[in-house]
Amino acid sequence: MMHLGLRVTYALALVNGALAIPSQQLDIRQQPFKSTAITDHAEPWAFAFLPDNRVLVTERRGNLRIVDPATKSKGTITGVPTVAYGGQGGLHDIALHPKYAENSIVYISYAESGTGGAGGAVARAKLTLNANGGSLSGLEVIWRHSQKASGGLQFACRLLFGPDEALWISSGEINQMTPAQSMTGNLGKMIKLYDNGTAFAGNPFASQGAIQAQIWSLGHRNPLGIDWDAQGRLWEVEMGPMGGDELNLIEPGKNYGWPLVSEGRHYDGRTIPQHSTRPDFAPPKAFWVPVISPAGLIIYKGNLFSSWKGNAIITGLSSQSIVRVTITGDTAKEAQRISMGKRMRGIREDKDGAIWVIEDGASGRLLKLTPN
């Protein structure tokens, strides 16, 4: 895989050349919200809301910050493990335990070094807060990629707790491609676990072995956004290669085809069969050629942006945009692309229905979006 900055070059080639494939018709408008800057961060990746309205923000070099939106101040959380910073790797996602108010446990995902290079890991720890920051203690690694690789690419490792309090991990294939189809490893998979890291009972491949028991779906490339809709269905966005970014409806036991099928091409120009050639693989509900480089996803559930309820809201890196996709039953279609002028990384919805996003890069801002 090429670095993400080169995806823009490839996108332009797709637009101007014979490879161009029409995407959905776009409704490009002036920003339909007020954007309030809260804090800025060094290469931020993700954030999570605490019950006291403060915000935890991960920075890719391995820093965990705590932000007070009321004062726009930020402190530091100590006790973060050493991360493998480089390429796309570093400190990634953060999520609160469903019973955080009782146990103060948080989960982090990150790239860690080891034999063969780096791979993704997920750990949990107790968070103790003070007026200016806090600390992690009792850190325990509960899940790891089953192999490591050089290059520092495509770790993914978004974290999400489900309605049944299961922990979901979106596992990237660390630019190894073929392991996404292998049932002897957990790369390129959607993973469903209990909060302690053991495989969730009833997973579709539970009878096939310890690794297989973790797996909910397979054939994923770089799944960087996951969220639930109001019907309890899991949606996912992932980066394709040279074209072919995908929005998928994730169903148990299904194979989404990577690297055997894609709506894009390899970076060296080699063709990949499209999903239509293999009906045994689950096709995306929406895809993008040229790419948007999706980095985060929410299915909007609030009332502040009432016309967006039930829509997928996706942050885009190379597209420097927020992409809104309408979902009707099992179908999805891009409805609006909002230019942000910056590479957009994380996205979450707060308890009041405001949408928060965070920019990618050296001085990425945490932004609160509310209706105009």
> pTM above 0.85?
yes
Strand-pairing partners, residue 199, are 193
SS3 category, 48 = strand
Residue 303 amino acid letter = N
- Give the DSSP letter of residue 101: H
Phi/psi of residue 143, nearest 5 degrees: -160, 145
Q: Which residues contact 135 (CB under 8 A, 6 or more apart)?
A: 77, 78, 79, 127, 128
Residue-wise pLDDT tens digits, 155-189: 999 999 999 999 999 999 999 999 999 999 999 99
Token match 């148990």: residue?
252
Which residues are 281's β-sheet partners?
none
Q: With left for phi above 0 and alpha for psi between -120 and 50, is residue 14 left, alpha or beta? A: alpha
User: How far, rounded to the nearest angstrom, does the alpha carbon of residue 114 sit from its chain's CA centroid?
Assistant: 23
Is 106 within 8 Å of 56 (Cβ atoms)?
A: yes
Distance CA(93)–CA(107), nearest Å, equals: 8
Q: At residue 17, does pLDDT exceed 90?
A: no
DSSP at 180: G
Closest to 322 measured CA to CA, from 302, 296, 284, 290: 296
Residue showing tokens 């190379």: 318
Mean pLDDT for the stretch of residues 329-357: 97
Tell me: the pLDDT tens digits for 256-295?
A: 999 999 999 999 999 999 999 999 999 999 999 999 999 9
What are the percentages of helix, strand and coil residues in the chain, rounded to 5? 10, 45, 45
pLDDT band at 5 (very low <50, low <70, confident <90, very high): very low
What is the predicted pLDDT for the residue at 258? 98
Q: Chain-centre distance of CA 252, in angstroms?
A: 19
pLDDT in tens, 72-109: 999 999 999 999 999 999 999 999 999 999 999 999 99
The span from the first CA to the last CA of the chain, in angstroms, equals: 39
15 sits in which H/E element: helix 7-16
The domains of the chain, with CATH numbers, are: 41-292 (2.120.10.30)
